[in-house]
Amino acid sequence: MGGLGGETGEPGLGPMIRFGHVPEPAGFAGKAMRHGAKWLADHPSAKRPHDYWSEFKPALADGVKQLCGYSVLYEPVGTVDHFVSWDEDKSRAYDWSNLRFASAWLNSSKKSVRSFEILDPFDVQDGWFEILLPSLQLTVSSTVPNEYLVRARNVLTRLHLGHDERVMRQRREWYRMYQAGELTLEGLRQKAPLVAVAIDKAGSLCEGNFPGRPAGRPARP
Over the stretch 12-43, which tens digit does the pLDDT of each residue have? 333 346 888 999 999 999 999 999 999 999 99
142: Cβ–Cβ under 8 A, 6 or more apart, which residues? none
pLDDT at 105: 96
Mean pLDDT of 157-167: 96
98 within a domain of the structure (yes/no): yes
> What is the band of 218 on the pLDDT scale with cuts at 50, 70, 90?
low
80 within a domain of the structure (yes/no): yes
Q: Could you tell me the residue range of the domain that residue 47 belongs to?
A: 28-202
Over the stretch 167-216, which tens digit does the pLDDT of each residue have? 999 999 999 999 999 999 999 999 999 999 999 998 743 334 555 555 44
Mean pLDDT of 46-71: 97
Q: Which of 149, 138, 100, 130 is nearest to 200 (CA)?
A: 130
Task: Please give the model's pTM, rounded to 2 decimal places.
Answer: 0.86
7 within a domain of the structure (yes/no): no
Q: Mean pLDDT in the chain? A: 88
Return d(Cα 49, Cα 190) in angstroms, integer. 33
Return d(Cα 61, Cα 67) in angstroms, integer. 7
212 within a domain of the structure (yes/no): no
pLDDT at 16: 41
The total number of structural domains in the chain stands at: 1
15 within a domain of the structure (yes/no): no
